[in-house]
Structure 1
C-alpha cells in the first residue's frame, strides 16, 4: 500500500488530470470531493474488508432505495448459471440449448442455435446478431423475446467474438428457468437474496412470462455491495459458501473482450487490467470487486443517460482505478 502523502491544492483541483495518473494515496474525503461534480453519479459505496469506508449519495434515491441496475443484471444471471450447474440442473457449461431447453427453440429458429452452449450464452459469444442498440426496440416490442433472439441471423461463429446482446442473456435466463423449474426471480431470491439477506423485487417479464434475463433488475446500493463482496471473497458470505469458489474462478478468467471498452469478459463479468471484476449497466451502474486490494465497490448513476466507454463510464473507470484503488 502506498504511503500517505499530502495533496497540494492545485493537484486536488486539477480536474483535467486523469485520475489514473495520480499515484497518490487517497482518503474517503478525497473521494467525496472528486465525485461532487460528477452530476450523473447518484451513489458510491466502498467496502474494504468488513468496513464500509465510503457511503455517499450526493443525488438520486439514496443508499437504501432500489436503483435499476440495468445490465449489471447480466452478471447476476452469470452467478445463477453457476448455481444451476452446481445443483445439477445443468450438467456443465458445455451443455447445449437443444439438450437443456429444446422447448424454447422456435420452428423457424436460425439453423444451428440448438448447438449453442451455456458457455456461448454466458460469455455473449452466441454469434447471433445482437438485440441491443438499434435492434432493442423491435426486440422488446416483439410478441416473443426468446424466439425473436433465436431468429437473428448468425453473424459470427458461436464461441468466437463477443457480440453484446441482451437477447443472448435473455435466452440464457429462459434456459435457467426451464432447466431448474424455477423462474429467475425465485432463483435470484433463493441463491442470492436469502443467503445475503437482501431484498430482490420482482422485475420485468416478457410476453411468455420469463423474467428479463439481462436488464431491469433493481437493488439497493447496499444490496449491490454485498454481491460485490461475494465476488471479492470467492463466493463466500460470512462463513457460508454461497457460490462455488470454482465458479468464481471460472467467471473471472478472460474468455473474450469487449469491442467497446476493451475490457476482458468472463462468465458475465468484465475484467480490468488492474484486477477489478466488474458488472456494468447502462447509465453507469457498477458492481465491482478487487480481491487483491480487499475492496468491494458499487456506483449507481442516472439510468436514463448513456455512459459510454469514452465518456462517463471512462470517468468511472478512472475513479475506480485511481482514487478508489489508492484509498488508505
Structure 2
C-alpha cells in the first residue's frame, strides 16, 4: 500500500506542475484607479454610450452608467440578439432536439411554414448555414428589412426570397436567418423561444430574460429587439469565456462554445470572420470574439486576457457605420491596460 507521505508528495508535484503549466493569461491583473477612470471617461466620450461593464478573471472591474442609464436596466440589444440565439440552438443539438448543424432547416419547421412556390434549394439550407449567414437567400436586412417585418408571415417570406448565392456560399447577413432558427426551435420543441432561453440560459445564469417582439404567428423574433441588462450580458459572455461553465455549472457544452467561435465565413461590412453568431477578429494582436448590434450594442470576449466587455449604446438611428471602429479602439485600450 502506498504510504500517506507518498500521496502528499505526489500531490505537491502535481500542484507544482499545474502552476508551471498555467497559461500566462491566468495571472491576476490589477488596474489602478487612474487607469480605470481614464478608460471610463474614454467610453463616456463616445457619443452614444449608455453603459460599460468589464470583467477580468471573473471580477467586475468597471460597472459604469452614462446619460441616465443603468447596468441593471433592460436595454434593446438589437442584432446582438443573434449572438444569444446561437446558444439555444447549441443546447437543442446537445439535447437531441436538433440532429446537428448539418440538418436541413425544412425538417425542423411546420409543413405550413414552407411555401410550395419556394426555390427547391431551400431544402439544402442547414442549421449551420443559418447560424453563419450562408443561407444564400436574398437578405431580409438592410433595404429589405421594412418590407419583411411588414409581411404577414416572416418565416414564409424569408423562405420565398430568391437565391443570390448558393447555400453554404458567401456571407449574406440577414436577420431572417436567425428568425428561421427561432421558428425551428419553437416547432421542434413545442415551446416558445422565450421559454427555452429562460430555462436553458436564464435559470443557470441567474439572469432575467423578459419577453420581446414576436412575429404575426407569435414566434419570438430571432435576431433582433431582444431586451437584456448589461449585467446579464456580462454573465452570458463570461459563460462563453469559460467554455460553457458558469458558477461551477456546465450551462452549454464546451464543444459548442468552441464551435461557435470557429470562423466559417468573412464579413464584408467589418472585415472580420464570422462563426455561429459570433464575429472573430484581432485587436492589439489578441484574438477577440464579439456580438454586435445596431448603434453600438456589443459583447466582447478576449480569452487570452480573461476579459469580457459589455457596452450598450443608443439603439436609435442614425448611427455612423464607423462607430464599431471607435468601440474597437476602446477595446484596444482595455487590452493594453492589462499588458
- Both structures adopt the same fold (TM-score exceeding 0.5): yes
CA distance in 2, matches of 1:306, 1:170: 24
CA distance in 1, matches of 2:81, 2:44: 27
> Following superposition of structure 1 onto structure 2, how do residues 88-127 of structure 1 map, counting pairs within 5 Å?
88-103=96-111, 104-127=113-136
**Hey, what does 2:78 align to over in structure 1?**
70
Q: Deviations over 1:202-258 (max 9, x none)?
A: 000000111000001001110110011111111110110101000011111100011
Deviation at 1:283, TM superposition (A): 0.6
**Hey, what does 2:44 align to over in structure 1?**
36
Q: Quick check: which has more Rg, 1 or 2? A: 2
Q: Deviations over 1:13-50 (max 9, x none)?
A: xxxxxxxxxxxxx8212202212321211111000012
Contact 2:266 2:274 in 1 (8 A): yes
CA distance in 1, matches of 2:190, 2:57: 37
CA RMSD in angstroms, aligned pairs only:
1.6
Picking from 305, 310, 313, the partner of 1:293 is: 305
Name the one with the larger helix percent. Answer: 2
TM-score after normalising by structure 2? 0.87
Contact 1:61 1:67 in 2 (8 A): no
CA distance in 1, matches of 2:169, 2:199: 33
Deviation at 1:110, TM superposition (A): 2.5
Contact 1:282 1:306 in 2 (8 A): no
- Change in Cα spacing, 1:83 to 1:308, as seen in structure 2 (3 Å) is farther
Matched, 1:246 2:255: yes
Contact 2:110 2:187 in 1 (8 A): no
Deviation at 1:88, TM superposition (A): 0.3
CA distance in 2, matches of 1:307, 1:83: 34
Secondary structure of 1:276's match? strand
Deviation at 1:99, TM superposition (A): 2.3
CA distance in 2, matches of 1:107, 1:177: 21
- Work out which structure has the larger RCO, using CA pairs closer than 8 Å and 6 or more positions apart in sequence: 1
CA distance in 2, matches of 1:55, 1:307: 24
**Hey, what does 2:183 align to over in structure 1?**
174
Count residues with an aligned counterpart: 304
**Hey, what does 1:312 align to over in structure 2?**
323
Deviation at 1:60, TM superposition (A): 4.4
Deviation at 1:306, TM superposition (A): 4.5
Give the unaligned 5+ runs of structure 1. Answer: 5-25
CA distance in 1, matches of 2:250, 2:141: 34
The list of structure 1 runs, each at least 4 consecutive aligned residues, that deviate by more than 4 angstroms after superposition, is 306-309
> Following superposition of structure 1 onto structure 2, how do residues 228-267 of structure 1 map, counting pairs within 5 Å?
228-267=237-276
CA distance in 2, matches of 1:249, 1:225: 18
Deviation at 1:308, TM superposition (A): 4.6
CA distance in 1, matches of 2:317, 2:287: 27
**Hey, what does 1:147 align to over in structure 2?**
156
